[in-house]
Amino acid sequence: MKRFLRNCLLILLLLVTCAGGYIVWQGHEKAQEITAEVSLEQAAQRAMAAADYTPPDRIPETLKEATVAIEDRRFYEHQGLDIIGLLRAAASQFLPDMVRSGGSTIGQQTVKNLYGLFEPTLEIKVAEVFLASQLNDLYTKDEILALYMNIINYGDGHIGITNAARGYFGVEPAGLSQSQCVILAGIPNSPANLQLSNHYEAARNREQLILQAMVREEYISREQADAIWNEPVFLQQSGGAAFFCDIPADAGQVDPDFSLQQGLRDGKVSKGTRQAVQWMG
């Protein structure tokens, strides 16, 4: 009986290994198919040649740190695939106390957006890993991070950090405040549900998570996180209208349970300054 069970386990292991190998082979073939007409380097260079492309040295460090902290905390350590992050993402789907996250690295998200690989198939996911690894061979981490931020969706029709900075705040990326950097870093996770025109409260709640992640990764101190949270955020809208979104009136500390609506109900947010419409000349 023991021999029978052992043989069954060996056969099962062999089948799993063969199936895994086949999936990897399919992903490799798909990666070659994707880059057959336009190589990865050509696709990246086209994006970098865009008139509104912002190079790494013109992107604020706070935006880089906030993005890495919330999207890919081991970005500077792995070569395109984060095994630990993948396992954590899988666990977050079943453990209610964990913040849900995806397993894709910044490199994978970059190649996905370069080639429009939005079909959620296993074959595509494996192809993304091969392409992300190739991307790491072609460019530095800072160049990959800048490329990602120049092609990612920041909601409200703003593709890329230049359009987002101009569209939301009326500035170039280099002119973004720390609070603006952090709130923008959270939007690509779900642009339709975090865009600032109609989901500002949700974006601010995610900003809390990002600040906590930045403290955890030691990019900033708790005191710096509180200071960033207490910075006002200005939103520029078409037609010249701008919304001033205020902070809690008591200038409290970063609190994962705080929400704008709750603050308003509790009297912690001033109605007069929370969303006062101003006109920009």
The 10s digit of each residue's pLDDT in 105-128 is 999 999 999 999 988 888 888 899
Comparing 63-72, 180-189, 227-236, 264-273, the range with the smallest average pLDDT is 264-273
User: What pLDDT, on the 0 to 100 scale, is given for residue 32?
Assistant: 87
- Tell me if 232 sits within 8 A of 179, measured CB to CB: yes
Which runs of consecutive H residues, i.e. helices, occur in 39-115? 40-48, 61-71, 83-92, 106-115
Note the pLDDT tens digit of each residue in 29-71. 888 889 999 999 999 999 999 999 999 999 999 999 999 999 9
Question: What pLDDT is attached to residue 9?
Answer: 65
Q: Say if pTM beats, i.e. exceeds, 0.95.
A: no
Whether pLDDT at 280 is above 90: no
Ranges 149-158, 162-171, 227-236: which has the least confidence: 227-236
Token pair recorded at residue 219: 């990019």
Mean pLDDT of 216-235: 92
**Is pLDDT of 261 > 60?**
no
More confident call, 170 vs 261: 170
What confidence score (pLDDT) does residue 215 get? 97
- The confidence score (pLDDT) of residue 23 equals 77
Residue 246 pLDDT level (bands cut at 50, 70, 90):
very low
Which pLDDT does position 205 carry in this prediction?
Answer: 95
Please choose, from the candidates 272, 102, 100, 244, the residue with its C-alpha nearest in 3D space to the C-alpha of residue 179.
244
What is the overall mean pLDDT for the chain? 79
**Burial of residue 281 (number of CB atoms within 10 Å: 0-12, 13-18, 19+):** exposed
> Helices 178-185 and 200-216 sit at what angle, rounded to 10 degrees?
100
- The reported pLDDT for the residue numbered 14 is 61
Q: What is residue 66's predicted lDDT score, i.e. its pLDDT?
A: 98
Nearest to 63 by CA among 201, 194, 161, 134: 161
